[in-house]
Amino acid sequence: MIRPRRLRGSSKLREMVAETSLLPQHLIQPVFVREGLTEPREIAGMPGVLQHTEDSYLEYLDELVLAKVPSVMFFAVPEVRDELGTEAYHPNGILSRVVRLARERFGDQLVIIADLCLDEFTSHGHCGVLDDHGAVDNDATLELYCKMAEVLAKAGAHMLGTSGMMDGQVGAIRKALDSAGCIDVGILAYAAKYASAFYGPFRNAVESELAGDRKTYQQDYRNRKESLLEVELDIEQGADIVMIKPALSYLDIVSEVSKISSVPVAAYVVSGEYAMVEAAAAAGFIDRLPAIFEMLYSVRRAGAQIICTYWALEIAREIEKRTP
């Protein structure tokens, strides 16, 4: 008889033959900074996750560095919004200030990723500018993305997270960065970003003004081949990392992309996925920490080299505790 159980007989034996690892170096911590806020405040639907002030986020970054979390992804919430999202590409706008201060304080101790999208900055909440019929104008939006890319690169971002899902965004941004002399600034491309129901709490985090949905530019969750095309296009256009969002309902896409990608693959465990675990744990229905580890390992097992998660700091600390 073949007995696979022989390799499960003790914790040390299980550790020795484990096929998948999860280390702090695999994690990105999203961070929200709200302009005009005088003290941090918890985000509705995301227990333990805060909108930071322009002072408190720097203290939080100190904790990330201490816990050996290698990267942070910044989202900023402005006090003033307009139809064109002009604060997004203002050289001294909230996101530019957040990136600049972080880079000045931490240098290369943290990989600073700035979200490159207009949705936090537009009065209508869409990821791009609208045409006369109220539809998102792809090519006009690209022009503003290029402005935003140059501003954030010069503020000190190591990478830009292109989350808008406009056609041709990676190529346009890469060209703009290179033309501005920012050839070392990388692009983390949201290559396969689905129009998901799991983004709800995130919209609280950025105080989204969106009415309606983003189904004309984010992907249809019924489709798989479409993702592979999007990934291939982003890699051709110069993406340095490709990301799938959300992660947990799209592990098949993570797996497929990991097989074809010539660049590192990331996945984003989104706010709704976070909220489900936290709500179930708070109700006593699941054992919280083992559930979190199981979920993050599933993303790694599917093929993601990098995980963007609101649990990054906590899990990095827990991994450190468990390391002999």
Residues assigned a catalytic role: 193, 245
Distance CA 98, CA 116 (A): 13
Q: How far is Cα 157 from Cα 103, in angstroms, rounded to an integer? A: 7
The token duo for 315 is: 């899990």
* 273, 246 Cβ separation under 8 angstroms: yes
How many whole angstroms separate alpha carbon 103 and alpha carbon 113?
11
Could you please report the per-residue DSSP string of 82-127? BTT-GGGG-TTSHHHHHHHHHHHHHTTSSEEEEEE-STTTBSS--S
Distance (Å, rounded) from C-alpha 35 to C-alpha 98?
10
